[in-house]
Amino acid sequence: MKNRVCELFGVRYPVVMGAVSQDPVLGAAVSEAGGLGCLAGALVDPAELRNRIRRFRELTDRPFAVNFPIVLTPEKQIEEKMRMMIDEHVAVVITSAGNPKLWTKFLQDGGCKVAHVLPTLYHAMKAAEAGVDAIIAEPAESGGYRGEHEVSMMVLIPTIRRALPNMPLIAAGAVADGAGLAAVMALGAEGVQLGTRFIATVESGAAAQSKQLILAATDTSTMSAEGRVKPRVSRPEFAEAVLGERKQVQMGQVSALITEILTVKDVMRSLIDGGLEASQAATDGIREFVPQIV
């Protein structure tokens, strides 16, 4: 296997689930389908988190990740939760929204792989200095926490790839199908992290209203929320038109591309089969202009 993300995480496909669920059912479906399932660990009580990790293991024997946005994890719980990752032999810990120097080495010394989610080249250099095993780069379009930054996928991935040629690099956000996978791989990523696409699946226990908003969204239905971490959310006027309520529900711009609820397996199939098709179409399109290759 040449793909460094697959090799690092021990998975068949370089497809990581974003931290969109505190329930192991969706994550286990992603791991079973060959990706890296994920459990959102920041806001779950520590004893309950341990139960959910154990439940995850009952559902699948494949690797999975637990995610902690550092600044959103209650300060009193963070050390206990980090120790738990080691005690429970969690394969991958994904940290975000905070300083990667705080926990990376501690977790690695305990046997966990560590990936850090970040929104700019500056943060990527800091994560590399902290010694992370992989970088998950999250652009302005994504449903995640971008702070003040609005760097687009088209710029974020190549700038990080140029600066850190040997770093396993995963593109988070704005990907819902094979064309997205092919595009970020062309930019220099070796894998993807999907949040919004996995919320809109059969296996996802997300609120019916969230799924309804994702299916109804167009390209202008989301905006950047205010506050400390600034996630992307539904525009209140859009939510009002769809649900009759002005709500800000966290979701990526990519919701504009999601028009049906699929099984996790079908999402995975559309990424891989559609990715091959899209990259072939792009190759054919470019080849037309290079007579000496034809």
Ligand X SMILES: Cc1cc2nc3c(=O)[nH]c(=O)nc-3n(C[C@H](O)[C@H](O)[C@H](O)COP(=O)(O)O)c2cc1C
# residues near ligand X by CB under 6 A: 25
Structure tokens at 183: 């595009």
Residues 21-50 contacting ligand X, CB under 6 A: 40, 42
Task: Quote the least distance from Cβ 220 to ligand X, whole Å.
Answer: 15
When asked if residue 168 is in the footprint of ligand X (CB under 6 A), the reply is no
Cβ-based nearer residue to ligand X, 145 or 288: 145
The answer to whether 254 and 171 have CB atoms below 8 angstroms apart is: no
Terminal Cα distance for the chain, rounded? 30
When asked if residue 190 is in the footprint of ligand X (CB under 6 A), the reply is no
Q: Which of 255, 250, 267, 249 is nearest to 201 (CA)?
A: 267
**Among 135, 194, 258, 278, contact with ligand X (rule: CB under 6 A):** 194
Task: Quote the least distance from Cβ 40 to ligand X, whole Å.
Answer: 4
DSSP state of 95: E
**Spatial separation of the C-alpha atoms in residues 235 and 227, rounded to whole Å:** 15
When asked if residue 178 is in the footprint of ligand X (CB under 6 A), the reply is no
When asked if residue 191 is in the footprint of ligand X (CB under 6 A), the reply is no
When asked if residue 188 is in the footprint of ligand X (CB under 6 A), the reply is no
Task: Quote the least distance from Cβ 41 to ligand X, whole Å.
Answer: 8
Residues 48-67 contacting ligand X, CB under 6 A: 67
**Spatial separation of the C-alpha atoms in residues 203 and 237, rounded to whole Å:** 29
**Among 44, 121, 124, 138, contact with ligand X (rule: CB under 6 A):** 138
Residues 72-91 contacting ligand X, CB under 6 A: none
Residues 216-275 contacting ligand X, CB under 6 A: 250-252, 254
Choices 18-26, 79-87, 150-158, 273-281 (CB under 6 A): range interacting with ligand X: 18-26
- Kind and range of the H or E run holding 160: helix 153-163
Q: Which of 36, 29, 37 is nearest to 265 (CA)?
A: 29
**Spatial separation of the C-alpha atoms in residues 63 and 10, rounded to whole Å:** 7
Chain position whose Cβ is nearest to ligand X: 195
Mapped onto helix, strand or coil, the DSSP state of residue 232 is strand
Cβ-based nearer residue to ligand X, 173 or 188: 173
- In the stretch 94-133, what mask flags binding to ligand X with x, by CB under 6 A? --x--------------------x----------------
- In what side-by-side order are the strands of the sheet with 134-137? 15-17, 191-194, 169-172, 134-137, 113-118, 92-96, 64-69, 37-40
When asked if residue 153 is in the footprint of ligand X (CB under 6 A), the reply is no
Q: Which of 108, 114, 142, 136 is nearest to 124 (CA)?
A: 136
Structure tokens at 97: 């929204």
The answer to whether 12 and 6 have CB atoms below 8 angstroms apart is: yes
Point out which residues bind ligand X (CB under 6 A): 18-20, 40, 42, 67, 69, 96, 117, 138, 142-144, 172-174, 193-197, 250-252, 254
